[in-house]
């Protein structure tokens, strides 16, 4: 006689619950990561756009324009702007708390800089 192959109902339910939980977690984390990626892209675009002798106020105004277009919640006052070797460098760091269920939440620290690559 041949052995039966397949998935038991209990196994199917277990893996479908695991898959749904991972999908829900991904749907909650993805928007925060997209916002971080937009912020990093906008800071790099600002550094490329402004002149090397631009003031901190000019850099903040340029970032505010990009942030308005991309609907970013991060104000330019949270940016650290300084010069390193004659080049403007922008750094930022913030944390996002994502509520999962009941009193359990996920805390993600985002950090970005325009220095280097």
pLDDT single digits (tens) 54-98: 999 999 999 999 999 999 989 999 999 999 888 999 999 999 999
- Indicate the helix (H) or strand (E) that contains 92: strand 87-101
19 within some domain: no
> Predicted confidence band at 101 (pLDDT cuts at 50, 70, 90)?
confident
Phi, psi dihedrals of residue 15, rounded to the nearest 5°? -70, -30
63 within some domain: yes
* Neighbour-count burial of 114, counting CB atoms closer than 10 A to its CB (0-12 exposed, 13-18 middle, 19+ buried): buried
51 within some domain: yes
Structural domain count, the chain: 1
* Neighbour-count burial of 38, counting CB atoms closer than 10 A to its CB (0-12 exposed, 13-18 middle, 19+ buried): middle
Q: Which domain holds residue 88?
A: 31-113
6 within some domain: no
90 within some domain: yes
13 within some domain: no
5 within some domain: no
**35, 73 Cβ separation under 8 angstroms:** yes
């Amino acid at each position: 006689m041949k052995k039966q192959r397949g998935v038991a109902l209990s196994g199917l339910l277990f893996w479908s619950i695991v898959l749904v939980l991972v999908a829900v977690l991904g749907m909650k984390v993805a928007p925060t990561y997209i916002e971080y990626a937009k912020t990093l892209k906008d800071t790099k675009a600002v550094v490329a756009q402004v002149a090397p002798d631009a003031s901190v106020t000019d850099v903040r105004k340029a970032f505010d324009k990009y942030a308005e277009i991309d609907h970013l919640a991060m104000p330019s006052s949270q940016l650290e702007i300084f010069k390193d070797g004659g080049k403007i460098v922008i750094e930022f760091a913030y944390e996002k708390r994502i509520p999962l269920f009941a009193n359990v939440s996920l805390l993600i620290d985002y950090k970005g800089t325009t220095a280097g690559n």
